[in-house]
A and B are shown apart, each in its own frame.
Chain A
């Protein structure tokens, strides 16, 4: 069979919210884009995450990106043709002790200047505002313009918007081989597709380490599997998306009335799939009932998990490769990539076009791992087959769309 050959300006590996929004941003800049997704766009972490759209609580290093994303979320329908159930419902981070409150207070002071408008609430005011909160909550910090959205809708919609804008999107198309040399990159996807591009965006999420390593930049990324669950629909009682200082449970009530709960870790079934296990589910249930006692009478109707990449410092890798010209990384969002995803996409597009980002990303350079990983290897000029994790399916298929 003769392979279809595509020559493009930018090739993107990974159709999550990062890769898809990069594709969209690149098209808006007028560059030619091919997006390669081994499964369906937005069907992995980007599509099955909790759906929190929050800036509050992020490391200060991420707040410029988060602010940029906040503006993009504000005009989601214009960008991707759907509101994706996005609501600026407020995000409330709960304190369970005076120490927690002090920590939230510190965060408020440090994050001033980022327009988060954080408001600390406690005591009577808290009880009046949230009579449903359990006794352990003593107060919290409200970010009124943070919110929530439906990841199942938003992430695939970025890919469709990119496609409408002229990106070539290939779904169910695992990349079998990446060859990089001075002339650029050649990506082989089974016998049916070959893509050539001078620029390559590595947006392969939890599976991105393979590509980075191939070009001499191994990263100590680990896969994590956030445990998720959802209750049956209930009468609406809660606007805010809730988190807890110090971590633990998070939950929100969707427009349909279901409560989406997250917290703790599920288990991997294999390299690609994960699920919430019995341990995670019972811990989650206990925390949920402690947080909102009335939930004890609710029924859990579904649980799930996903596979997400975590670097030891919980910061992503975002920036140009130091070893391979034309390679740009954007991965490892440690379970918090959904909100900043659209801004990361724009930054990746800027890096592709201009070689630099208009938003500070110095904290996210891949070189921060170079010392630990040993001397970087020379850029691979020869073909190196990407490992199985990148191509779990040996039957590559072109998208029928």
Chain B
């Protein structure tokens, strides 16, 4: 019998697997990482000795609980670690599993693919020593190492403070935290943030803890440039509303973590034909889902940050709720009260989510301030100026057209890293709202796949009917 499949073994995927297993199904849980936990609770290799408290800081209890849930599921699910889903069509996923191609049919699919950093380039961001905030966190959690000896973390969003705290707690030296959000933003967001007082307190506590441990936290800091010749040597930024470089300050460092919140990994729903709509809060086109996580494609469910950023707690609830929806849609009995409770929790987090966006606002003037020389697409080395010139010369007003004409998003990352920035530059250059310049079309493979694997793929049997 064809099993249900869950893609992503983070908070959403693990809770979904747990709910399906509890109802007697044996789902397949596919994940790129060697061990379950996702990015947020990424686990080190089995023989590493750092304690959860050292690795996850304040999130240790949650991480341990999720890992325990995954571990106890081991014999009740079919866990496929080290497996990249690179394509999907006709009721089956295509995996690259430890160098081999495999086709995985599914009867019901829960997509919990998570998120990556939303990157807004600053001059110098391609220097060795610069990573994303998420990348900096992965280095710590997976390998137990820091990205440098004197680290500046900058950008904005909750992850900025969490990573700073986790780094400092693990003994790394954070020379500064540069938040582009102003204190006034965070004050203005208070009424919304108060809907989740525990998290609000935690956020404030991080800042206090960092300050108490001598880590400078600068709010309203606009990154101007990452300095260095061969590699990172420092950061230049300005504070306040000058915008003229008058208030420029510099800090020496040897590594930079940068990010402005997160962006959803939506390629899989895209390949499977899900309907998308622009979400003004997240400035992104996201696959549509109902309160339970049903996408526009029957049998396909969306959970966690992969369908819109709501954070790890919400991902756990959404994963469980999506699994219940899958069960409901098969006519299996589920605990309706539990389903309702999960939906209420998810609905209840929305004001807080809006508050976060208020507290760490997207720097809406980023594109207007980006110099023509700024490299937007690092794979193809396409600058903001090249994009603007293409728009000027061709009238391009759609991101796929801009890609075709300029090569932006045509490299190894296929726009996963540069897509946000390129879209912002396009909107600025053609004078349209960012929601009206389209979204990059997804195409297989979702991530690069070696020809050696593809060329030795087993012959494909006739396609079964798509799973309902």
B123 at the interface (CB under 8 A from A): no
Contact A40 B398, CB 8 Å, known A281-B87, A288-B455:
yes
User: Measured between alpha carbons, how far is A256 from B377 in the docked complex, in Å?
Assistant: 14
Contact A300 B395, CB 8 Å, known A40-B401, A47-B404, A288-B455:
no
Contact with A along B87-130 (1 / 0, CB 8 A): 10110001000000101000000000000000000000000000
A299 at the interface (CB under 8 A from B): yes
Which A residues touch B405, using CB under 8 A? 152-153, 156
Dominant secondary structure of chain B at its interface with chain A: loop
Instruction: Please determine whether B450 and A286 come into contact, CB atoms closer than 8 angstroms.
Output: no
User: Measured between alpha carbons, how far is A99 from B235 in the docked complex, in Å?
Assistant: 66
A371 at the interface (CB under 8 A from B): no
B245 at the interface (CB under 8 A from A): no
Binds B, one of A15-23, A86-94, A185-193, A269-277: A269-277
User: Measured between alpha carbons, how far is A276 from B460 in the docked complex, in Å?
Assistant: 14
A278 at the interface (CB under 8 A from B): yes
Q: How many residues of B contact A (CB 8 A)?
A: 33
Instruction: Please determine whether B451 and A296 come into contact, CB atoms closer than 8 angstroms.
Output: yes
B445 at the interface (CB under 8 A from A): yes
Which A residues touch B454, using CB under 8 A? 281-282, 284-286, 300
Instruction: Please determine whether A277 and B89 come into contact, CB atoms closer than 8 angstroms.
Output: yes
Partner of A156, one of B90, B273, B394: B394
B33 at the interface (CB under 8 A from A): no
A124 at the interface (CB under 8 A from B): no
Contact A301 B273, CB 8 Å, known A160-B394, A285-B451, A285-B454:
no
Which B residues touch A269, using CB under 8 A? 273
Closest approach, in angstroms, between the C-beta of A280 and any C-beta of chain B?
Answer: 10
B414 at the interface (CB under 8 A from A): yes
Partner of A278, one of B94, B404, B456: B94
Contact with B along A154-184 (1 / 0, CB 8 A): 0010001000000000000000000000000
Which B residues touch A232, using CB under 8 A? 411-412, 448
Instruction: Please determine whether A289 and B414 come into contact, CB atoms closer than 8 angstroms.
Output: no
Instruction: Please determine whether A256 and B380 come into contact, CB atoms closer than 8 angstroms.
Output: yes
Which A residues touch B466, using CB under 8 A? none
User: Measured between alpha carbons, how far is A155 from B236 in the docked complex, in Å?
Assistant: 44
Q: How many residues of A contact B (CB 8 A)?
A: 38
Which of chain B's residues 133-148 have a Cβ closer than 8 Å to chain A? none
Instruction: Please determine whether A43 and B404 come into contact, CB atoms closer than 8 angstroms.
Output: yes
User: Measured between alpha carbons, how far is A231 from B414 in the docked complex, in Å?
Assistant: 12
Dominant secondary structure of chain A at its interface with chain B: mixed
Instruction: Please determine whether B455 and A282 come into contact, CB atoms closer than 8 angstroms.
Output: yes
User: Measured between alpha carbons, how far is A63 from B331 in the docked complex, in Å?
Assistant: 64
Which B residues touch A279, using CB under 8 A? 460
Partner of A256, one of B103, B398, B407, B455: B407
Closest approach, in angstroms, between the C-beta of A148 and any C-beta of chain B?
Answer: 16
B194 at the interface (CB under 8 A from A): no
Closest approach, in angstroms, between the C-beta of A282 and any C-beta of chain B?
Answer: 4
User: Measured between alpha carbons, how far is A277 from B407 in the docked complex, in Å?
Assistant: 23
A133 at the interface (CB under 8 A from B): no
Instruction: Please determine whether A297 and B452 come into contact, CB atoms closer than 8 angstroms.
Output: yes
Which B residues touch A215, using CB under 8 A? none
Partner of A231, one of B101, B444, B451: B451
Which A residues touch B22, using CB under 8 A? none
Which of chain A's residues 17-41 have a Cβ closer than 8 Å to chain B? 40
Closest approach, in angstroms, between the C-beta of B335 and any C-beta of chain A?
Answer: 38
Please report B residues at the A interface, Cβ cutoff 8 Å.
87, 89-90, 94, 101, 103, 273, 380, 394-395, 397-398, 401, 404-405, 407, 410-412, 414, 443-445, 448-452, 454-457, 460
Given contacts A269-B273, A275-B444, A302-B414, 7 further A-B contacts (CB under 8 A): A278-B457, A286-B456, A300-B454, A301-B414, A303-B444, A304-B443, A400-B397
5 pairs, A vs B, C-beta closer than 8 Å: A256-B380, A276-B444, A282-B460, A288-B451, A302-B445
User: Closest 3 interchain pairs by CB?
Assistant: A285-B454, A299-B448, A285-B455
